[in-house]
Amino acid sequence: MGSVGAKDVPVLLSPEGLRIDGRKLDELRPIHIEAGALHQADGSAFVEWGANKVMAAVYGPREVHPRHLQQNNKAVIQCRYNMAAFAVDERKRPGLDRRSQEISKVIAEAFESVVFAEEYPRTSIDIYIEVLQANAGTRCAGLVAASVALADAGIPMVDLLPAVAVGKIGGAIALDLKKEEDNYGEADLPMALVPQSGRLVLLQMEGHMTEDELAQSLDLGVTGCRAIYEKMKLALRERYSVAPVPGGSA
C-alpha cells in the first residue's frame, strides 16, 4: 500500500469488472503444487502461484537447537520465511529483515494452532520457506507450501492450512491480489483457514475498509481457501496414491 503520491497508477479494474490480468474479482491465479520436491528434507513442497515460486521444507520432529528453546511437554515449532535476493525487482540484501521475521512469526503461530505438538515433547519441528520469485501473496503461498510439506513429513495436524490474500481494488473486493494490485490497491488481507473447524489461524490486514467490506472479504477469502484446499489435497494424493488420481496431472 504505497500509492499515496505515486505517478502512473495503473487501472486495476475495468468497467467490465476485469482485472489487469483479465481475472474476475473472485478468481484465483493459476496454482500448481508439487509435494515432495526435495530429497534431503523430511517433507517438502514447491508451489507456483501466479508468478510466485516458493519452496518449503520441513525437518523434524528432531532434537532442538539451541537446547534452551526446548519445551518439556511439546514440540517447538520454528519457522523461517526468507526471500532470495533475486526474488524481487529491486535486489534484496541476503539475510532476514524485519518483514521476514514478522512473517516467520505469524506463520509459526498459525501452525502451532493446528499441529499436535504435544505428541513430541522436547523436540523441534523446523519449517523453512524460501521465496525464489515474488509477485504478491508470498506469505500465503509459503504457508500453503509449508502445510503440504508438513503433511509430506508425516506431522500430525488438525488439518491442512489453505491461505489466500483478499484485497480491495478500485473500491471492489478482490480475491488473490497480484503485485500491482497489492501495490496500488486500497487494502490487503491475508488469511489462513482450518477447513475442519472453519476458523482462521492467520489474519492480517493493511489499508482501509468498511465493516461491510471486511465481512465480504472474509467470506470471499474462506471460499478461496476452500478451493486452494482441494489443490493441496490433490498434490498430496498425486504423490502418495498408487493408482492414477482423477483430475490429476498424470
Partner 1 sequence: MLVLPGEEIQSHGLKPGPGTYRVGGKVYASILGLLAPRPPFVQVIPLSGRYIPKPNDVVIGTVTDVQTTFWLLNIDAPRWAPLHMTGTPWKVDIGECERYLKVGDAVVVQVENLDATGRIGVTMNGEGLGKLEGGTIVTISPARVPRVVGRSGSMIQTITRHTGAQVAVGQNGRIWIGGSPEAIHRVSAVLWMIDEDGQRPGLTERVESYLLATMPTNAAGAEAPRPESAHRDAPPAPGLPDDEEDGAPEPNDSPDEPDPDPT
Partner 2 sequence: MSGEVAAEIRTTHILDLAAEGKRLDGRGVDEYRKVTVETGYVASADGSALVHLGDTTVLAGIKLEPGKPFPDTPNAGVLTTNAELIPLSNPTFEPGPPQPGAIEVSRVVDRAIRAAETIDLTRLCVTPEEKCWTCFTDVHVLDHSGNLIDASLLAAVSALAHTTVPAKRFGIAEADYALDVQHLPIECTFVRLGDVIVVDPTFDEEQAAQGRLTVATDETGRVVAMQKGLVGAFSPDDVKAITRRAFVHGERLRQVAKGGGP
* Residues of the shown chain interacting with partner 2 in the complex, contacts defined by CB under 8 A: 38-42, 51, 53, 55-57, 59, 62, 65, 80, 82, 84-91, 94, 126, 128, 130, 132-135
Give the C-alpha separation, 15 to 33, whole Å: 33
Task: Specify the DSSP element, H or E, that contains 132.
Answer: strand 123-133
Contacted entry of partner 2, partner 1, none for residue 89, CB cut-off 5 to 8 Å set by kind: partner 2
Q: What one-character-per-residue DSSP string does 41-92 give? A: SSEEEEEEETTEEEEEEEEEEEE-SSGGG--SSS-EEEEEEEE-TTSSSSPP
Minimum distance, C-beta of residue 65 to partner 1, in the bound complex (Å)? 12
Task: Specify the DSSP element, H or E, that contains 227.
Answer: helix 211-240
Q: What one-character-per-residue DSSP string does 147-214 give? A: HHHHHHTT--BSS---EEEEEEETTEEEES--HHHHHHSSEEEEEEEETTTTEEEEE--EE---HHHH
Contacted entry of partner 2, partner 1, none for residue 132, CB cut-off 5 to 8 Å set by kind: partner 2
Contacted entry of partner 1, partner 2, none for residue 80, CB cut-off 5 to 8 Å set by kind: partner 2
Minimum distance, C-beta of residue 130 to partner 1, in the bound complex (Å)? 21
Minimum distance, C-beta of residue 70 to partner 1, in the bound complex (Å)? 10
Minimum distance, C-beta of residue 198 to partner 2, in the bound complex (Å)? 32
Contacted entry of partner 1, partner 2, none for residue 205, CB cut-off 5 to 8 Å set by kind: none
Minimum distance, C-beta of residue 73 to partner 1, in the bound complex (Å)? 8
Q: Which residues bind partner 1 (CB under 8 A)?
A: 42-43, 60-63, 72-73, 75, 116, 120-123, 151-160, 194-197, 233, 236-237, 240-243
Give the C-alpha separation, 223 to 26, whole Å: 9
Contacted entry of partner 1, partner 2, none for residue 242, CB cut-off 5 to 8 Å set by kind: partner 1
The residue among 124 and 138 lying less far from partner 1, judged by its C-beta, is 124
Angle (CA) 169-173-175 rounded to 5° is 95
